[in-house]
Amino acid sequence: MAIHNNRQRLKDIDNTGFGPNSSIEGGRLVNPDGTSNLRKRGIPIWERMSVYHTLLRMGRRKFGLFVLFLYTAVNLFFACIYFLTGVEHLVGGDGGASYFEKFMEAFFFSSQTLTTVGYGRVAPSGMLTNSIASIESLIGILIFAIMTGLIYGRFSRPRAYLLFSPNILISPFKDGKALMLRMATYKNNNLTDVEAQITLALHVKEHDRTVTKFYPLDLELSKITSLALNWTLVHHITEDSPLFHYTKQQVMETRMEVMVTIKAFDDHFSNVVQQRTSYTWKQVVYGAKFLPMFERADNGEYTILELDKINHHELVNMDQYQNKTVGA
């Protein structure tokens, strides 16, 4: 009954963009990288997918492989055309006797034409071959212009470069307990006017069906002037917290998810950057506290921030806090 009364006292929100019907949700609401955990369908894939956004957000390794694949595929395509029209129309070529040698001659001529290098040893002969080479040169110019724009966009796109602790802790805090997570910047960028917002999603039973309730979690400190070192976000679990009466077991049964949104100003880009992440109930460590992740240098002239210790924590005895906030 106490839990029920607490829910009635708290006011949930409905502006998160996610629906309250838990029966149709699959897994978590937000992925660790901040993207929404959903798939769209109902219209053709080329209409619901933005190639520009896909290539802009693609990982570095995948993007590099994509560029290599595209370059090779285009060259293979035109090499096949040159080969079928006749390698003898490539004046100055040393095609050799085998089909493989002739095809490789066509492939490398295609590579020189596509990149507009044109070493001069091999040249097209005849209207058909010259027309194909002209078309390939135009396609090459367009492809390299697009790739240059994409590479610049990926390089110059403002990002927060935040590293979050893989776990979220329920730790002793003041006269009770608190929900804590830690973050830090892992690049040499400088973030100022950093704001944090945490939303709790609880999957609860209501009128014989499971629904999702969203609650904003108050933070002890929701804004800082500069994120120079690490920042531990702290939600004090008081009587006004939606987690006040929840035991460790109840947290698991409600499939809790904590969604985190960070906004900051990057003075290098002179732009506002944002990054999101989320934690599920599987990532909650009950009865633990974070360990320090920075120290003074041996010569005492600067501070060392050890990013590999972002999730370093130790277990603590929470028995003395059982009757104050969250149950054991």
Question: Any idea what the CATH number is for the domain that residue 275 is in?
Answer: 2.60.40.1400
Q: Give the domain range for residue 285.
A: 159-321
- Residue 29 placed within a domain: no
Instruction: Note whether 133 and 270 are same-domain residues.
Output: no
Alpha helices by DSSP H, the chain: 2-9, 45-48, 51-57, 60-85, 99-114, 127-156, 248-253
C-beta separation of 177 from 237 below 8 A: yes
- Tell me which amino acid residue 287 is: G
Q: Among all chains, which residue has been given the structure tokens 């277990």?
A: 315
Residues 196-237 have pLDDT tens digits of: 999 998 887 777 777 888 999 999 999 999 998 899 999 999
Same domain, residue pair 180 and 316: yes
Q: Looking at the domain assignment, is residue 314 inside a domain?
A: yes
Sign of the four-CA dihedral 13, 14, 15, 16: positive
Within this chain, do residues 189 and 314 fall inside the same structural domain, yes or no? Answer: yes
In this structure, are strands 176-185 and 162-164 parallel, antiparallel, or unpaired?
antiparallel
Does 230 fall in a domain? yes
d(CA 77, CA 70): 10
DSSP, collapsed to helix, strand or coil, labels residue 299 as: coil
The verdict on residue 201 lying in a domain is: yes
Please check whether residues 145 and 176 belong to one and the same domain: no
Is position 211 within any domain? yes
pLDDT for the residue 21: 65
Check residue 1 and give its pLDDT.
37
Predicted pLDDT at 4: 46
Q: Is residue 56, in this structure, part of any structural domain at all?
A: yes
CA distances from 58 to 78, 84, 99, 145, 271 (A): 27, 36, 38, 19, 22
Helix (H) or strand (E) holding 314: strand 313-315
Is residue 14 included in any domain, yes or no? Answer: no
Residues in the chain, pLDDT under 50? 1-5, 7-8, 323-328
Number of domains in the chain: 2
Q: What is the pLDDT of residue 23?
A: 54
Residue at 38 is within a domain: no
In eight-state DSSP terms, residue 218 is P
> How many beta carbons lie within 10 A of that of residue 91, not counting itself?
12
